[in-house]
Amino acid sequence: MPQQSSPTSLNILVVDDEINIRKTLAMSLESDGHSVIAVSNARDALDEATRRPFDLAFVDLRLGRELGLDLVPDLLAQSPWMRIVIITAHGTIDSAVETMKRGAADYLTKPFTPAQVRLVTERVAKLRALEQKVAGLEGAADQPDAEISFESSSPSLHRVVALARQVAKNDATVLIRGESGTGKGVLARAIHSWSHRSSKAFAVVSCPSLSAQLLESELFGHVKGAFTGAVQDNAGRIAASDGGTLFLDEIGDLPIELQPKLLRFVQDRQYERVGDAVTRRADVRVIAATNVKLEEAVRAGRFREDLLYRIQVVQIEMPPLRERPEDIVFLAERFLATLGRGRGIVGFTDEALAALAAYQWPGNIRELRNVIERAAILCQGDRIGPAYLPSVGAGKGETASLGDPIPLSQLEEMHIRRVLARSKSLDDAAKTLGIDVATLWRRRRKYGI
């Protein structure tokens, strides 16, 4: 698919049975930096729409013996975000109203000028940029480490950021490795924001969170009736992020049966929706992350070696927080400034800061954030002391091992705290612990977690 040439460029479909109109409109749009496909009939238009996503379509009201209006629902079914502009030499108020009822976004009467066309495309480009920005902000808000910046005194993190900024300039596939909670998702989002794709969508797919069937549908989309519960067409995350970036979180947990399909997309940018034989294309950059050693997964037969080679064109290793001791206090104070806002808390006591700095942080930045959030909620004074940091303070058994002379409840509390620190949600933590969510809630209440 043609690479978009500017942040405001669009993928545009022109459908008109008059060859002069098609050529003139296509030339005008391409001169403004847009990618254009022009066809003469509804069948070809739908065929193009099923193979690639479009942002905007100019559709003639009359296509020989067919009505362009009848094409509108089918085009929207392929790309729900598409704006459709009906063009006609027979404009009436009634036909304009009918186009809007069918789902068209605008109406142009022939003959129209390049300025009129440019006005439409600029408006659509702004809307698409706004939609993708909102989607990106919603995705960022869902990330537990969204507040993390890359301000740091750590040389190892400086090297990571420098490499990330360098690879952001091209479209190479990136594999981000690191322990859970180190900020791999935040770095992926940063790479997207530093790239020429920054005005386009950033889509996140969590590989461990869904069954193989639902994950396939989430990635590639599905057609109505493809499986039980598929009551309408779904374009999928790949189509929705066309021109942007797809982030595959914890790719090591991708079901083995989906790996050949992902490999094909990474290699050729081609895929099919579930229940549909039509081959589609999308211009999407892929960034993946993992907290497991994929080489071991390859040897165990859980991960394809050829897929590993494809996704690790550039590797970036996120350092664990214990290797960045100079950043612990800085991050703690940054989290407190956000999470303690409006609570009258001005900082930490010296004892609390010493405890934070001495702790090994097995759950990394995610654990640090959770600890500070809990302390900010429970703190009764203007400074957080060691009493509000039970999981990092001395005497709580954080260095205990199985068989040590400690109560079973203390070992259980320590284990639950560590699992919660490493988990993205209560559901994930409960699954790891082998208990249901209600039981986990009771344990949290018991231990004040």
Tens digits of residue pLDDT in 86-115: 888 776 667 667 777 778 888 888 888 889
From 290, 268, 280, select the one nearest 236 (Cα to Cα). 280
Does residue 142 have a pLDDT over 60? no
Q: How many helices (H) and strands (E) does the chain have?
A: 18, 16
- Alpha-carbon span 167 to 164, nearest angstrom: 5
- Alpha-carbon span 415 to 409, nearest angstrom: 10
The CA distances from residue 200 to 27, 75, 141, 149, 205, in Å, are: 24, 21, 17, 21, 16
Going by pLDDT thresholds of 50, 70 and 90, the confidence category of residue 400 is low
Which pLDDT score is estimated for 39? Answer: 93
Which pLDDT score is estimated for 106? Answer: 85
Residue 364, phi-psi category: left (phi > 0), alpha (psi -120 to 50), beta (remainder) = left
Q: For the chain, give the mean pLDDT.
A: 85
- Alpha-carbon span 174 to 163, nearest angstrom: 11
**Pick from 67-71, 182-186, 220-224, 425-429: least confident:** 425-429
Q: Which residue has the higher pLDDT, 446 or 422?
A: 446
Which residues are within 8 A (CB) of 150 and not within 5 positions of it... i.e. 6 or more apart?
Answer: 157, 161, 187, 190
From 32, 352, 326, select the one nearest 151 (Cα to Cα). 326
- Alpha-carbon span 335 to 284, nearest angstrom: 33
Residue 106, phi-psi category: left (phi > 0), alpha (psi -120 to 50), beta (remainder) = beta
Q: Which residue has the higher pLDDT, 145 or 109?
A: 109
- Alpha-carbon span 445 to 443, nearest angstrom: 5
Which pLDDT score is estimated for 150? Answer: 79
| Dihedral sign (CA 186, 187, 190, 191) | negative
Which pLDDT score is estimated for 91? Answer: 62
**Pick from 138-147, 281-290, 301-310: least confident:** 138-147
Provide the percentage of residues in the chain whose pLDDT is more than 90.
Answer: 41
Q: What six digits make up the tokens of 191?
A: 């790479």
- Alpha-carbon span 222 to 232, nearest angstrom: 8
* Cα 237 → chain centroid: 9
- Alpha-carbon span 175 to 311, nearest angstrom: 6
* Tokens 């005005």 belong to residue: 199
Q: Which residue has the higher pLDDT, 407 or 435?
A: 435
Going by pLDDT thresholds of 50, 70 and 90, the confidence category of residue 162 is very high
Q: What six digits make up the tokens of 85?
A: 């502009």
The CA distances from residue 230 to 75, 273, 276, 399, in Å, are: 19, 12, 13, 50
Does residue 407 have a pLDDT over 80? no
In the chain the domains, ranked by start, together with CATH numbers, are 11-131 (3.40.50.2300), 143-319 (3.40.50.300), 322-447 (1.10.8.60)
- Alpha-carbon span 440 to 38, nearest angstrom: 58
Which pLDDT score is estimated for 6? Answer: 44
Taking residues 415-437, report their average pLDDT: 79
The helix/strand/coil state of 1 is coil
Q: What six digits make up the tokens of 332?
A: 């703690």
Does residue 190 have a pLDDT over 70? yes
Going by pLDDT thresholds of 50, 70 and 90, the confidence category of residue 422 is low
Output helix, strand, coil percentages for the chain, rounded to the nearest 5: 50, 15, 35
Q: What is the pTM of this model?
A: 0.68
Segment 336-375, tens digit of pLDDT: 998 888 888 999 999 999 889 888 898 899 889 989 998 9
Which pLDDT score is estimated for 368? Answer: 92
Which pLDDT score is estimated for 138? Answer: 57
